Structure formats: structure tokens, C-alpha cells
Amino acid sequence: MTHSSTPVPVLDIDLIDSLRADLGASEWTVDRINTALSATAKDAMMRGMRVPAMLELAGSHDPAAVLTRFFMLGADEASDVLDAALPSLGARGLVRLGLAGPGGTEGEAGADGAGTPPRLAALFDLRPHSASLPDPDDPASQREHQWWVASDLGEDVTGRPLDEDHVLGIGGASLSLLGQTIRERVDSALDLGCGCGIQALYLATHCGRVVATDLSARAGALTQFNAALNGAPIDVRVGSLFEPVSGESFDLIVSNPPFVITPDTVRAGAGFHEYRDGGMQRDELVGSLIRSAPDHLAPGGTLQILANWEIPAGADPDRLWSSRVEDWLSGLGVDAWVVQRDALDPAQYAEMWIQDSGGRRMSHEAFERGYAAWLRDFTAAGVGAIGMGFLAVRRPEPGEGECAPGGSDQDAGGGQWLPGGGRAAFDLALEGRVPRGVDVAWALRSLRAPRTWDLALTRAPDVREERHYVPGSPDPCLLVLHQGAGLGRSVPVSSAVSAIVGASDGGLTVGQIVTAVAALTDREADEVWDEAREPLAELIRWGFLTF
């Protein structure tokens, strides 16, 4: 694997302004592409297959169709066709910006005598991206945003494996982090490991100051280009982890870091890519980032990070998966909501990342050699599974929620005390929806809830109950609460918990409801409370109940 031979785009503000004007005038938007292409073609593009879309757009001189063919599908275009699609910038301007080079017969002089080839090929992927985000000044309403984002061309266009310094576009992991980031107005934010800069572009919609960092100079250059193209004030710096922001703190830090656990034997071959591999041993990069983050969080500040972590061989990956993450959080004095959305065995993990790095284009021998290297490494390290998920970490305000570590779980909200202070909750996301920013903010807030017994809770309006009966029995044998919005969870509960949830209309405290349920069922109030306390804390965290 080698570094890209393609120079980064040129940061010429005048040319970039012309490009932005042309893209806007062409109405090259996500909606326009969705209208122009069939569901079959769009689904094929998601799988890395461009042929259906190429056939549907063939021959069209509509500017949006030309730009889609050229930048997203990698088709050569005639210079005069590009001149018509981009009348302010023109084909020559594309070349001067470094976004295009000779296509067809290389080196052939253009008809304008200026050396512009008669046909051009895109050197970068460029595509529209849109989002409807909560208005930070009025969270009940939404604001529409439209960007154009440049990244390196993918394997489906180039037909060759990715370079070491490949800058990835907007993938599934990026979209997941974008969706779950808290979109509240804050003074400062950091995008750590910025890649093409899409997280930073979103942050600029609700943060007063945005810094974006990456170890890759190529990623930093593309983020600078995308910030200029979209008129976003982003301070881009190159360096490892928190080194570029030494001594600075932020209200919000987001990171989709290079978390892939890559064996050294794979790195030494063709398995190293800067966008996914931070060069550290095992899962230490994520641990190092988490342990350093509190020094760069302002009081009340939040870190949101995607992560992988190792689960020891012999541990149930659905029950005993959190020990590695607990070690990272120990002694930091922070609150954390940790969600494992999936767990893969070493073979599944190796297959996924080999495919990600050009497995379809490898020889059979190279594939199996690399596969064996991954498996031998995990076996030697005693790894039985790899957890995949996210962490939301919050630095409490001074004096906030001062309950003695090791105290009763009744002293505060759900979760558990961490060594050194702070509370954490560890959840499996095996069903339901990807959390939204509001869900993450609420989950963190719930960890510092007052003593649940004293709370007056309100049942969310979307909660419904399902009851199962043995035929002929008057009493249900199973009760399940369903959440229509929020995380979309379905949770089995006991009759006592169901009764408490049903009576939670904000008028009575939990203690009053528990006392009433105990009297109606001829039980002791302490017995009912012991049964309901932890389920209620989880229902609060997941949004079934609010306070």
C-alpha cells in the first residue's frame, strides 16, 4: 500500500467561490439525485456498484446529471460539457483546483489552446449532503442544511485498493455519530480525527468555535477545502490525538477515531490505512483518547466517540462485555453512557475489515494469509470477541451530584458508581433505533437524577403495554412495555413495575406510588421498591419515563 499520488485540492478561495456558485445554480442536491435515479440504481450505489446509475444518466447534459456522473460515478466527461455544467469555474478551473485531470487520451491539448484536455476525469469524489437538524435556539423546530463534501475516490471508481492515506467519505459510522451527537448550542467544539470534515461541518451549525484535527495531513487538507467550499469557519490542525489542542478545553468533543484493532503482521503487509488504524497496539488508541479527554472537556462538557473494545475469551459478549471500558473510565470522575451495539467474534471482525480494505480484489492466497494473521493475533492475546459501539462521556460541573462513591444506588439515578467517582450505565443495543442526540443528552442527565424514590415521574406519551396470558388465566404471565418513539425499545417488566409506570403522570412521587402498589398487592413497600428500583432507572434512561 502506498501514499496517494494525487495532490490535495488547491485552497484557492476565488476558484472555490466560483465552484460553490455553480454547484448551487445547478441545483445539485441530494433531492435532485434521488429524483433522477431509480431505487435500483441508488441501492446499487450503496453496494459500491455504479453501472445502473451510469446507464440511467447516460447522455444527459443536465448539469446535475453531469456532475453526478463525473464526481460520484467516476465517468470521464468532455471539457465542453463540464464548461456548460460549471459556467463560472469551467473545466479549466476544475483542473486548476486539482479536482480533475486528463481523461481519455492523456496529455491531448484542449481546443481552447490553454492545454485543457478535451476530456477530464475526476480526481476526487465530490457529492451533495443534506441534513435536517434541531434548531439550537429552538429545539422544537428543524433547520435544513446543504453541503458539498469532497473525499478520495473509492475502489468502485478507481478499480484498485485504497492508498494508506485514503480520506474516507461519509460512511455508515460517520452517519451514526452525526445522528447521535448532541445538537445544543455551545461555545466550543472539537472534531478529533476529522477525516473529510463532515462532523466539523455539522458542529459549525451550533458551536461558536470549531477545531478539527487529524493525524493525516491529507485529511486536514480535505477538511480545509470542504470548510472553504461550504463557508464554514473551521480551525483545522494536523497532529496526533490531543497534541494539536494542548492546554485547550471544549464544551463538546466528537470523534470517529481510527479504532480498528489491527495486528502488526497485517500492518506490515497491505493492511494499514490511516483512516481506520491509529498505529497503536490492540484497542489502546480508544483507551488513550478516553483517558485524555477529561483534561480537554470544560465543566459540563461532553465527549461522544465511536469505539471498538476487546472482550476476553470465555466472557459472554452479551453480559460480561464492559470490563475493558470500565478500566478506561476508572478514576476519571466522569459520567458515561456506554452502548455496545454489536459484538463480533475474531473471524467475523477479520472478514469485515479485510473486505473493507480491498478483499474483493485480493488473490485467494493473499486473503487467506491476511485472515490467518488476524486470527493468530487475537488468539495469542486471549480475545474472544470485539465489542462495537459508542461512549458518551460527561465531565460534571463542580459540586454537581455530590454523592459518595460506593454509596447506595438509591442516592442517584441509574447506572453504577465508577472507581474514583462518576456514574456509568452500560447498555446493549440489540434492537430498537440508533440513539439521537436528544436521547444521549437525556441518558447522561438521568445518571445524575435525584433519588428516584423522591421523583415525580411522567410516562412518555408513546409508551404502550402488551400483555400475554396463558389461556383461561385471569392474570398475565408476561408484560412488555413498547416505546413508539425515542429508542424504540420493548422491555419486559413485572406487574409492580407496570403499575408504577401506569400511575406515573407527574402528580405523585415514586415513593407514594410504590406505597400504594404495596398496599394493593399485600406486600411490603421495601420489597416492591427493591423489585422496581433498577428497572425504573433503566426506563428513565431510555426515555419511557421523564422527570
**pLDDT tops 60 at residue 143:** yes
Q: How confident is the model at residue 297 (pLDDT cuts 50, 70, 90)?
A: very high
Please, what is the average pLDDT of the chain?
Answer: 89
Phi, psi of 406 (to 5 degrees): 90, -5
Residue 450 pLDDT greater than 60, yes or no: yes
Q: CA distances (Å), 103 to each of 8, 96, 298, in order?
A: 18, 15, 51
Does pLDDT of 406 surpass 80?
Answer: no
pLDDT of residue 359: 56
Is 428 buried (19+), middle (13-18) or exposed (0-12) by CB count in 10 A? middle
pLDDT level of residue 404 (50, 70, 90 thresholds): very low
CATH number of this structure's domain 452-546, picked from the four choices 1.10.20, 1.25.40, 1.10.1740, 1.10.10 = 1.10.10
The DSSP result for 264-284, as a single string, is HHHHTTT---TTTB-S-STTH
Main-chain phi, psi angles of 527, to 5 degrees:
-65, -45
pLDDT of residue 410: 44
For the chain, give every domain's residue range: 13-106+117-125, 148-153+170-402+423-447, 452-546
- For residues 149 and 128, what is the distance between their CA atoms, to the nearest angstrom? 6
Give 223-253 pLDDT, tens digit per residue: 999 999 999 999 999 999 999 999 999 999 9
What mean pLDDT is predicted for residues 12-18? 97
Mean pLDDT of 361-366: 75
Over its C-alpha atoms, the chain yields an Rg (Å, rounded) of 26
Measured between alpha carbons, how far is 170 from 193 in angstroms, rounded to an integer? 13
> Is the confidence at residue 221, as pLDDT, over 50?
yes
- 520 to 248, 482, 513: CA distances (angstroms): 57, 25, 11
Q: How far apart are CA 412 and CA 423, in angstroms?
A: 9
* Residue located via cell numbers 398475565: 476
Task: Please return the burial class of 193, using the count of CB atoms within 10 Å of its CB with bins 0-12, 13-18 and 19+.
Answer: buried
> Please, which pLDDT band fits residue 108 given cuts at 50, 70 and 90?
very low
What does DSSP assign to residue 10?
P
DSSP E strands, 106-241: 119-122, 125-135, 138-151, 186-192, 207-214, 234-238
What would the mean pLDDT of 345-363 be, rounded to a whole number?
A: 78
Average pLDDT score over residue span 148-162: 87
DSSP SS3 for 247: coil
> Which whole number is the average pLDDT over 397-422?
65
487 contacts 438 by C-beta, under 8 angstroms: no
User: Measured between alpha carbons, how far is 342 from 258 in angstroms, rounded to an integer?
Assistant: 18
| pLDDT score of 360 | 63
pLDDT at site 205: 97
Helix (H), strand (E) at residue 441: helix 437-446
Higher-confidence residue: 290 or 116? 290
Alpha-carbon distance 173 to 186, whole Å?
A: 24
pLDDT of residue 277: 67
What pLDDT does residue 165 have?
Answer: 82
**118 with 90: CB under 8 angstroms?**
no
Tell me whether domains 148-153+170-402+423-447 and 452-546 share a fold: no
- Predicted local confidence at residue 122, as pLDDT: 96
What percent of the chain stands above pLDDT 90?
72
Task: pLDDT band for 121, please (50, 70, 90 cuts).
Answer: very high
| pLDDT for 439 beyond 90 | yes
What pLDDT score was predicted for residue 157?
Answer: 86
**Lowest mean pLDDT segment, chosen from 21-35, 231-245, 247-261, 348-362:** 348-362
- Range list of H helices, 254-363: 264-267, 284-292, 323-329, 346-356
Stretch 56-66: mean pLDDT? 95
Q: According to the model, what pLDDT value does residue 101 have? A: 95
Question: What pLDDT, on a 0 to 100 scale, did the predictor assign at position 411?
Answer: 44
Higher pLDDT, 436 or 137: 436
Per-residue pLDDT tens over the stretch 306-333: 999 999 999 999 999 999 999 999 999 9
User: Which value, to the nearest 10 degrees, does the dihedral of the CA atoms of residues 68, 69, 71, 77 take?
Assistant: -130
Task: CATH number for 148-153+170-402+423-447: choose from 3.40.50.970, 3.40.50.150, 2.60.40.10, 1.10.20.140.
Answer: 3.40.50.150
Q: Are 437 and 182 in contact (CB under 8 A)?
A: yes
Strands 383-394 and 297-312: antiparallel
With a cut of 60, say whether residue 408 has pLDDT above it: no
Q: Which residues contact 115 (CB under 8 A, 6 or more apart)?
A: 109
- Predicted confidence at residue 324, as pLDDT, reads 95
Residue 498 has pLDDT above 80, yes or no: yes
Instruction: Among 100-104, 175-179, 386-390, 506-510, name the one with the lowest average pLDDT.
Output: 100-104
Distance in angstroms (rounded) separating the CA atoms of residues 175 and 523: 49
Report whether pLDDT(479) > 50.
yes
Average pLDDT rounded to a whole number, residues 416-439: 87
> What does the pLDDT read at residue 307?
95
CA angle (412 as vertex; 409, 416 as ends), nearest 5: 50
The reply to whether the predicted model has a pTM over 0.95 is no
Length of the chain: 547
**Under a CB-based contact definition with an 8 Å cutoff, are residues 547 and 456 in contact?**
yes
* Residue 480 clears pLDDT 60, i.e. is over it: yes
